[in-house]
C-alpha cells in the first residue's frame, strides 16, 4: 500500500520504479534516521526543482555550521547541534519548500513567515524565488547559537 511503512523493516515502501513514495504535496516519505544518509535520500527524492534547492540549502547549512547534526524525522530533514535539539527543519509542499526556524522569533531580522507557535518562523521558497544565500546563512548561524527544540 503506497504511503505506508513496512512493519518488518520500518523503511518506507517504494512506489513505482523503486522511488520513495511522495506524500501529500509531494513530500518524500523517508524512514526516520540519523546522519547525512537519510537527509541525502530525502533531498534526492524531492520532486523537480525542489531537489536542487534542497541540495543547496543542505550545502549552505553544512558550510555555515561545521559538524551540524542531521536527521530525518516525520518525513522532514532536521538540523541541530546536540542530541535531539534541532534548530531548523525542511518540508516539501506542492508549490514551495518550507524552512522552519524553530527559534526564529529570536533571529535578526525575523524570517518573514509567521507561525501559530510563538517561537517558530518560516521561510517559504517558491520555484521562481531567488534565495538570498547571505541572509539564509546568517539566519542559520544565529539559529544554531540559540537553544534547540527537543524533538
In this structure, is residue 138 part of a structural domain? yes
Tens of pLDDT, residue by residue over 58-106, are 999 999 999 999 999 999 999 999 878 999 999 999 999 999 999 999 9
3-state secondary structure 10-51: CCECECHHHCECECHHHCECCCCEECHHHHHHHHHHCCCHHH
Number of separate domains in the chain: 1
* Alpha helices (runs of H) in 23-148, residue ranges in sequence order: 36-45, 49-64, 133-145
In this structure, is residue 36 part of a structural domain? yes
Distance CA 91, CA 47 (A): 12
Whole-prediction pTM: 0.85
Find residue 78's DSSP bridge partners.
71, 89
| Percent over 70 (pLDDT), the chain | 87
In this structure, is residue 65 part of a structural domain? yes
In this structure, is residue 3 part of a structural domain? no
Tell me: pLDDT of 49 over 50. yes
Q: Which domain holds residue 111?
A: 16-150
In this structure, is residue 1 part of a structural domain? no
In this structure, is residue 46 part of a structural domain? yes
pLDDT at 11: 46
In this structure, is residue 57 part of a structural domain? yes
Burial class (CB in 10 A: 0-12, 13-18, 19+), 98: middle
In this structure, is residue 92 part of a structural domain? yes
Tell me: pLDDT of 57 over 80. yes
Find residue 113's DSSP bridge partners.
122
pLDDT at 61: 98
Tens of pLDDT, residue by residue over 60-73, are 999 999 999 999 99
Tell me: pLDDT of 9 over 80. no
Here the CATH number for the domain that contains residue 72 is: 3.90.1150.200
Residue 38's pLDDT band, with cuts at 50, 70 and 90, is very high
Amino acid at each position: 500500500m503506497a504511503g505506508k511503512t513496512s512493519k518488518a523493516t520500518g523503511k518506507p515502501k517504494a512506489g513505482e520504479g523503486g522511488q520513495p513514495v511522495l506524500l501529500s504535496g509531494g513530500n518524500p516519505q523517508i524512514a526516520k534516521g540519523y546522519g547525512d544518509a537519510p537527509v541525502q535520500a530525502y533531498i534526492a527524492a524531492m520532486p523537480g526543482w525542489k531537489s536542487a534547492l534542497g541540495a543547496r540549502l543542505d550545502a549552505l547549512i553544512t558550510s555555515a555550521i561545521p559538524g551540524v547534526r542531521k536527521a530525518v524525522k516525520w518525513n522532514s530533514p532536521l538540523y541541530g547541534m546536540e542530541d535531539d535539539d534541532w534548530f531548523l527543519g525542511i518540508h516539501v509542499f506542492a508549490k514551495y519548500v518550507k524552512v522552519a526556524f524553530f527559534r526564529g522569533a529570536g533571529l535578526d531580522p525575523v524570517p518573514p513567515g509567521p507561525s501559530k507557535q510563538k517561537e517558530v518562523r518560516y521561510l517559504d521558497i517558491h520555484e521562481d524565488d531567488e534565495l538570498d544565500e547571505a541572509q539564509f546563512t546568517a539566519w542559520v548561524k544565529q539559529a544554531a547559537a540559540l537553544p534547540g527544540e527537543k524533538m
